[in-house]
Amino acid sequence: MEQELTRYVEQQLDGRAGQNRKAIVQELREIFTMFFRSNIFTELASANILGRETPLLMPWDGQIMEGVIDLLYERKGLLYIADYKTDRIVSKAMRQARDDYRYQAEVYSRAVRQSLRREVTAFKLIFLRAGEAIEVKPDPKQGELFLTESS
């Protein structure tokens, strides 16, 4: 993996990485190693990927909301939205992240529902460095989102 990462960094930075190249490669190796060992990676590997880096543009509370959905996928007939996070975060802090990203989950879920005319099973925050994911699911009774955990 080391050679592939080094080659990728060189191509992407067009030789501008300089002395930072080793640090960049090491950081990427750390991220990918945790992610590739995770249950969420296994889940995604068996999923039907419907979209990557999918742009969204929609009216929202009198404004225009713009964003990019990292990943839209289907698994066992259910529709999911995933957002990759590279934060350095410990498991305990992931519960707090739910509140930090609740608004984003709400906007993205509505955009997907309106566009595809399908219910979104869950919005998942995938913390790549930790190799863990948390879900923010729609609550059908209150129209709000609530947290469940998965890894």
Is the pLDDT higher at 53 or at 146? 53
> What is the sign, positive or negative, of the torsion defined by CA atoms of 51, 9, 43, 110?
negative
- Residue entry with tokens 């729609």: 138
The closest of 84, 10, 81, 73 to 46, measured between CA atoms, is: 73
pLDDT at residue number 141: 45
C-alpha distances in Å from residue 79, one per residue of 21, 49, 105, 117, 118: 38, 10, 14, 11, 8
Same domain, 33 and 58: no
Same domain, 74 and 96: yes
- How do residues 64-96 score in pLDDT, each as one tens digit? 989 999 999 999 999 999 999 988 887 777 777
Let me know: does 122 contact 135? Beta carbons within 8 Å. Answer: yes
Element (H, E) at 94: helix 91-116
Quote the CA–CA distance of 131 and 36 in Å, as a whole number: 8
pLDDT at residue number 136: 81
- The total domain count for the chain is 2
Same domain, 27 and 65: no
Residue 42 lies in a domain: no
Same domain, 51 and 123: yes
Quote the CA–CA distance of 89 and 111 in Å, as a whole number: 28
Quote the CA–CA distance of 93 and 140 in Å, as a whole number: 26
Same domain, 93 and 25: no
Same domain, 8 and 61: no
pTM (whole model) above 0.85:
no
Mean of the per-residue pLDDT values of the chain: 84
| Residue 141 structural domain | 47-150
- How do residues 10-34 score in pLDDT, each as one tens digit? 787 776 656 677 888 888 899 999 9
